[in-house]
């Protein structure tokens, strides 16, 4: 019990630290975006509803059981289902970050994107941290169809972009999920900055070589 309490305290502080970092650097705004971490006992700590990621109070974070029932803390984000959908399909994931980040949302609104893979492989770090990025269709927030669409996409992808909404990314750790979603946002920014210009993305061979390096831990 003591070890679990120590873990929860550490994770609460880390969630608040990551939230403030994302907010201060403009990756999120207002009360948009949410973060969760799955603890070693299977329960989750999650950011509350209507809370700014830049002003989280660790002791007030929502605590939910493995079935997403509210145990303690403030009422959880209304987008909690996005997190549970990711955890359901990504058994090794211990953290999920969801943002309404500007450039990622902009990319999701474009009519000419490849819905099976929205962003091109412009950099090695994007390939290694995100890989392929599917786009799920627009559904109103809270719509069960959105949950089902995210869940289906998460079977094969740890990062998913929701049309007219934003990205949701799972990671083995919170830092891993944070870095991946930041890489996603910066790549979306590059794509929009280069709009109308001839670009030279990584080749299929280069992408495959990066994938092999990840598999062998190089």
- Find the CATH number of the domain harbouring 41: 3.40.225.10
pLDDT, one tens digit per residue, over 78-108 is 899 999 999 999 999 999 999 999 999 999 9
Strand order from edge to edge, sheet including 34-38: 70-72, 62-64, 44-46, 34-38, 95-98, 166-171, 159-162, 135-136
Which residues contact residue 147 at a Cβ distance below 8 angstroms, ignoring those fewer than 6 apart? 81, 82, 85
pLDDT, one tens digit per residue, over 185-217 is 999 999 999 998 999 999 999 999 998 877 654
Which residues contact residue 212 at a Cβ distance below 8 angstroms, ignoring those fewer than 6 apart? 218
Q: Which domain holds residue 126?
A: 2-216
Active-site annotation holder among 27, 79, 176, 185: 79
Those residues of the chain that have pLDDT short of 70 are 1, 215-218
182 catalytic residue (yes or no): no
Largest CA distance in the chain: 58
Count of structural domains, the chain: 1
Enter the pTM of the model.
Answer: 0.94
Q: What pLDDT is recorded for position 215?
A: 61
Active-site annotation holder among 7, 17, 125, 179: 125
79 catalytic residue (yes or no): yes
């Amino acid at each position: 019990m003591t070890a679990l309490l120590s873990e929860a305290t550490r994770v609460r502080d880390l969630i608040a630290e990551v939230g403030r970092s994302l907010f201060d650097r403009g990756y999120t705004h207002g009360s948009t975006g949410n973060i969760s971490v799955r603890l070693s006992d299977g329960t989750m700590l999650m950011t509350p509803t209507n809370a700014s990621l830049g002003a989280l109070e660790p002791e007030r974070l929502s605590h939910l059981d493995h079935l997403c029932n509210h145990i303690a803390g403030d009422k959880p984000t209304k987008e909690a289902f996005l997190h549970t959908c990711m955890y359901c399909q990504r058994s090794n994931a211990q953290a999920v970050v969801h943002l309404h980040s500007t450039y990622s949302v902009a990319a999701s609104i474009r009519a000419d994107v490849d819905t099976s893979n929205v962003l091109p492989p412009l950099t090695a770090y994007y390939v290694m941290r995100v890989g392929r990025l599917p786009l799920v269709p627009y559904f109103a927030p809270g719509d069960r169809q959105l949950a089902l669409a995210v869940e289906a996409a998460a079977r094969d992808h740890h990062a998913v972009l929701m049309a007219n909404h934003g990205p949701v990314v799972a990671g083995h750790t919170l830092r891993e999920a944070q870095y991946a979603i930041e890489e996603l946002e910066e790549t979306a920014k590059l794509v929009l900055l280069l709009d109308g210009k001839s670009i030279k993305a990584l080749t299929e061979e280069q992408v495959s070589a990066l994938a092999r390096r990840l598999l062998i831990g190089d």
